[in-house]
């Protein structure tokens, strides 16, 4: 009997030893004191005007998020913004992504603005499994299979379509026939994507395309193009310019006395950004441009953002600033959801990606500053509820005129200074 008891005790000892020495359950990853988010924007070079204001939009958003209690599902952890210059080329953007990740290992990166730079940087973020919330609009950005890339803003082809739809709707409202359209764009993938959207919208609305032209982005003389447009006699022109070419075309239309009934900008900064208005002076009046952000959206969060941005910069938020302000709030909501869905490892990039795909926002600060009232994401990273708005320069000030239900001013339509 005693021998049997000793055998049992020996077996139990071995079992207890094996249990004690066996593999332990993995410990939960320790949460950081701050969640690091990267700002990767063109802060020097040709595109610095966009990147600088985008950075300011992010900084204000981070401050507002932290003042509201940080990421509450993670115990109120605040965000910390780290900044890297993306330069002005695909190579500099790629190097910027590598640098900010190696130095800071951010949970997510916002920015890039220029599509070719975004695609280059996303090679790095994809390899390193870092979420990239992009503010570049070319359709192909979300069509190349990037799993960790999300774009809240409307894509470029939607901008092109919105410009045409606005003119058609405004013409119907004013009782002015608009049948003949000319379509212009600079020769980047961005300009091309806008033009594709405009062409499709023109066909959908039964319009006649009487002229279409793609020109070099650094063009120095547009008099021949303007002469050709005048000869084609379109009722209106839809145009995707950046900055210098918008100024060049607006001045040439005026000098050549070749202003059509209307000129609608699509995408980019075009005709309605503060710097464009400053450069053109009174010539900027009546030009419109589509925007991925609605500075006139009448919600508490948007009014707060606009007031603080204007106090800091001296003008209302530009598209770049607005896109990155609401993008930071979208990231905040994804972090909140990841904390609820994956409390053991909420900052794991695959878990955070799943949280982005589960987002279905119809209220809150992100929606209050977004052009529409719904934010969600498809598997490709686009928001199917995205929509652009239209701003028009009226008495030297950019005003939201479309969609009509969001308008802060009645559109001046057609142009009172049209020459034909």
pLDDT at residue 10 greater than cutoff 60? no
| CATH topology agreement for domains 35-154+297-376 and 157-291+389-406 | yes
Q: Of 140, 138, 122, whose CA–CA distance to 130 is shortest?
A: 122
pLDDT reported for residue 270: 80
pLDDT reported for residue 46: 85
Cα distance between residue 373 and residue 234, in whole Å: 35
DSSP 8-state code for residue 265:
E
Q: What is the pTM of this model?
A: 0.90
Mean pLDDT computed over 154-164: 97
Considering Cα of 370, then 373, then 376, then 382, what sign does the dihedral take? negative
pLDDT reported for residue 44: 97
Mean pLDDT computed over 286-291: 97
pLDDT in tens, 349-382: 999 999 999 999 999 999 999 999 999 999 999 9
pLDDT reported for residue 5: 53
CA distance readout (Å), 407 to 8, 165, 270, 401, 416? 84, 15, 20, 4, 20
- Residue ranges per domain, the chain? 35-154+297-376, 157-291+389-406
Cα distance between residue 179 and residue 201, in whole Å: 13
pLDDT reported for residue 397: 95
Per-residue pLDDT band for 13 (boundaries 50, 70, 90) equals: low
CA angle 96, 137, 56 (to 5 degrees): 55
pLDDT in tens, 326-351: 999 999 999 999 999 999 999 999 99
Q: Provide CATH code, domain 157-291+389-406.
A: 3.40.50.2300
CA angle 273, 274, 275 (to 5 degrees): 90
pLDDT in tens, 99-130: 999 999 999 999 999 999 999 999 999 999 99
Cα distance between residue 408 and residue 298, in whole Å: 9
> CATH number for the 35-154+297-376 domain, one of 3.40.50.620, 3.40.50.2300, 3.40.50.2000, 3.40.47.10?
3.40.50.2300
pLDDT reported for residue 15: 44
């Amino acid at each position: 009997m005693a021998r049997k008891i000793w055998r049992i005790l020996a077996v139990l000892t071995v079992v207890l030893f094996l249990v004690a020495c066996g593999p332990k359950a993995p410990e939960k990853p320790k949460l950081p004191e701050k969640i690091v988010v990267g700002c990767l924007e063109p802060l020097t070079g040709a595109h610095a005007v966009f990147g600088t204001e985008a950075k300011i939009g992010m900084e204000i958003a981070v401050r507002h998020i932290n003042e509201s209690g940080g990421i509450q599902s993670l115990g109120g952890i605040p965000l910390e913004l780290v900044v890297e210059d993306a330069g002005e080329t695909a190579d500099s953007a790629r190097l910027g992504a590598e640098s900010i990740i190696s130095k800071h290992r951010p949970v997510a990166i916002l920015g890039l603005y220029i599509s070719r730079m975004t695609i280059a940087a996303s090679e790095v973020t994809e390899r390193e499994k870092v979420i990239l919330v992009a503010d570049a609009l070319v359709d192909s950005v979300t069509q190349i299979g990037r799993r960790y890339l999300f774009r809240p803003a409307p894509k470029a082809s939607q901008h092109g379509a919105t410009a045409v739809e606005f003119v058609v709707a405004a013409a119907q409202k004013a009782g002015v026939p608009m049948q003949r359209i000319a379509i212009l764009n600079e020769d980047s993938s961005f300009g091309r994507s806008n033009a594709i959207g405009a062409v499709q919208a023109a066909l959908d609305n039964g319009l006649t395309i009487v002229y279409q032209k793609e020109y070099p982005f650094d063009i120095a003389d547009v008099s021949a193009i303007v002469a050709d447009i005048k000869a084609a006699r379109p009722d209106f022109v839809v145009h995707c310019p950046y900055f210098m070419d918008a100024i060049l075309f607006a001045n040439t239309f005026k000098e050549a006395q070749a202003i059509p009934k209307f000129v609608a900008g699509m995408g980019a900064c075009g005709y309605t950004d503060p710097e464009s208005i400053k450069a053109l002076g009174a010539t900027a009046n009546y030009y419109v441009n589509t925007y991925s952000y609605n500075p006139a959206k009448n919600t508490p969060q948007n009014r707060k953002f606009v007031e603080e941005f204007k106090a800091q910069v001296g003008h209302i938020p530009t598209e770049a600033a607005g896109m990155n302000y609401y993008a930071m709030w979208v990231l905040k909501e994804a972090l909140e959801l990841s904390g609820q869905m994956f409390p053991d490892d909420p900052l794991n990039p695959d878990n955070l990606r799943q949280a982005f795909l589960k987002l279905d926002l119809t209220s809150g600060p992100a929606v209050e500053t977004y052009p529409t009232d719904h934010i969600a994401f498809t598997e490709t990273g686009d928001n199917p509820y995205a929509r652009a708005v239209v701003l028009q320069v009226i008495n030297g000030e950019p005003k939201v005129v479309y969609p009509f239900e969001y308008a802060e001013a009645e559109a001046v339509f057609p142009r009172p200074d049209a020459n034909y």
